[in-house]
C-alpha cells in the first residue's frame, strides 16, 4: 500500500476510539428513541467538528503541515459531498413516512455500516494504487465525468420504494408494511419479518455505496496516505447524523450546492490527471475547494433570501 502515517497502534487506537464513541452515542446519549431537536443537533454537530479539528491539530503536530492540510482537505470534501447524501436520505425518509423518533436509530446503524464499507473501499483503493499506478488516471477521469454529470440537468428523483436493493431484499426476506416501534425485525406466527425500518436501512446502505464510489477517489486525489484518507472520511461520516437533523428543513434550499460539488470533483479529477505534469500544492487545492463549496452555499442562500423577499412583496400586494 502507499506509505501511511498510521502505525498498527494508531490504526487500532483510532478504530477503538470510533467504536467507543458509537457505543456511548447509542447506549448512553440516545438510549431512548426520540425526536432530535435543533438545539441537540447543533450541539452534536459542533462536538463532531471540534473532535475533527482537534485530530487535525494532532496530525499537524505529529506529521507536519503537509499531512495536516491533506486531512482537512479530505474532511471538507467528504463533508461537502455528504450534504448531497443527506438530501437523498431526506427523500427516503419522506417516501417511507419514517417517524421522526426513529430517524436517529436508522442513521446510527446506517453510519455504522458505512464505516465498514468505507474502510473496505479505502483498503481496496490503496491496494490498487500500490499495484497499478495508472489507476489514478482512471480515478481522475471518473471524477471528471461524474462532476460533469452533476452539472447537467437532473431527471426526476426516482422513487426509493422501487430501489434495486429493495427489490432484491424483498425476494429474500419476508416483509411487513407496519412499523413495529424501533424494531427492524418482528416475529409473527413463528416467522421473522423485516419492518419498514429495516427496508429504509437497506436503501440508505445501498445509496452510500454510490456516494462512496465518488468520495473515496476524490480524497485519494488529495492524499495517498491511507490513514489520512480513512480518518478524514470517518470523521466526516460520524457527524452525518447531527448534520442531517441540523439541516433537515434547509437541505433543499442549497440550490447551487450540487454545482459546487460537481466543480470540486472536476477540479480534483483534473488534478489527478495532470499530476505528473503540474503539481498543485495541497494548500492551493484546499483554497479552491473552500471557494467552490463556500461560493455555492453563499449563492444558494442569496437566492433563498431573494425568493423570500419576492414572496413577502407578493403577500403584501395581495392584502
Q: What is the pLDDT of residues 160-181, one digit of tens each?
A: 788 888 889 988 989 888 888 8
Q: Which residue has the higher pLDDT, 297 or 22?
A: 297
**Residue 154 binned pLDDT confidence (cut-offs 50, 70, 90):** low
Phi-psi region of 96 (alpha: psi -120 to 50; beta: other; left: phi over 0): alpha
Does residue 1 register a pLDDT over 50?
no
- pTM for this predicted structure: 0.82
Is the distance from CB of 162 to CB of 98 less than 8 angstroms?
A: no
Over range 294-305, report the average pLDDT: 88
Over range 140-157, report the average pLDDT: 81
Q: What is the pLDDT of residues 89-130, one digit of tens each?
A: 888 888 888 888 888 788 888 888 888 888 888 888 888 887
Q: What is the pLDDT of residues 28-62, one digit of tens each?
A: 665 565 666 677 778 888 888 999 999 999 999 98
Is the distance from CB of 258 to CB of 100 less than 8 angstroms?
A: no
* Res 303: pLDDT: 87
Is the distance from CB of 247 to CB of 83 less than 8 angstroms?
A: yes
Grid cell listed for 29: 446519549
Is the distance from CB of 242 to CB of 289 less than 8 angstroms?
A: no
Does residue 296 register a pLDDT over 80?
yes
* Res 2: pLDDT: 45
Is the distance from CB of 45 to CB of 243 less than 8 angstroms?
A: yes
Q: How do beta strands 191-194 and 185-188 pair?
A: antiparallel
Q: What is the pLDDT of residues 239-285, one digit of tens each?
A: 887 888 777 666 667 778 888 888 988 998 898 888 777 888 888 98
Lowest mean pLDDT among 51-55, 153-157, 202-206: 153-157
Amino acid at each position: 500500500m502507499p506509505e501511511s502515517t498510521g502505525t498498527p497502534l494508531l490504526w487500532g487506537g483510532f478504530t477503538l476510539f470510533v467504536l467507543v464513541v458509537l457505543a456511548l452515542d447509542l447506549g448512553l446519549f440516545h438510549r431512548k428513541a426520540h425526536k432530535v431537536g435543533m438545539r441537540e443537533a447543533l450541539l452534536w454537530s459542533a462536538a463532531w467538528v471540534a473532535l475533527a479539528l482537534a485530530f487535525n491539530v494532532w496530525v499537524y503536530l505529529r506529521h507536519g503541515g503537509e499531512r495536516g492540510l491533506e486531512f482537512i482537505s479530505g474532511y471538507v470534501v467528504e463533508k461537502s459531498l455528504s450534504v448531497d447524501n443527506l438530501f437523498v436520505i431526506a427523500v427516503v425518509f419522506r417516501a417511507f413516512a419514517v417517524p421522526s423518533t426513529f430517524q436517529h436509530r436508522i442513521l446510527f446503524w446506517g453510519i455504522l455500516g458505512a464505516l465498514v464499507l468505507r474502510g473496505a473501499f479505502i483498503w481496496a483503493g490503496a491496494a490498487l494504487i500500490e499495484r497499478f499506478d495508472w489507476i489514478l488516471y482512471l480515478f481522475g477521469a471518473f471524477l471528471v465525468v461524474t462532476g460533469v454529470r452533476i452539472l447537467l440537468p437532473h431527471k426526476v428523483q426516482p422513487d426509493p420504494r422501487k430501489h434495486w436493493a429493495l427489490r432484491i431484499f424483498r425476494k429474500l426476506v419476508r416483509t411487513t408494511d407496519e412499523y413495529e416501534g424501533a424494531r427492524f425485525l418482528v416475529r409473527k406466527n413463528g416467522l421473522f419479518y423485516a419492518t419498514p425500518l429495516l427496508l429504509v436501512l437497506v436503501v440508505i446502505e445501498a445509496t452510500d455505496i454510490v456516494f462512496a464510489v465518488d468520495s473515496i477517489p476524490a480524497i485519494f486525489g488529495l492524499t495517498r496516505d491511507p490513514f489520512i484518507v480513512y480518518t478524514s472520511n470517518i470523521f466526516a461520516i460520524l457527524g452525518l447524523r447531527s448534520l442531517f437533523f441540523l439541516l433537515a428543513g434547509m437541505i433543499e434550499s442549497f440550490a447551487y450546492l450540487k454545482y459546487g460539488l460537481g466543480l470540486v470533483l472536476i477540479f480534483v479529477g483534473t488534478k489527478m490527471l495532470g499530476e505528473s505534469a503540474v503539481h498543485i500544492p495541497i494548500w492551493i487545492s484546499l483554497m479552491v475547494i473552500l471557494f467552490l463549496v463556500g461560493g455555492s452555499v453563499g449563492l444558494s442562500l442569496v437566492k433563498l433570501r431573494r425568493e423570500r423577499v419576492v414572496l413577502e412583496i407578493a403577500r403584501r400586494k395581495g392584502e
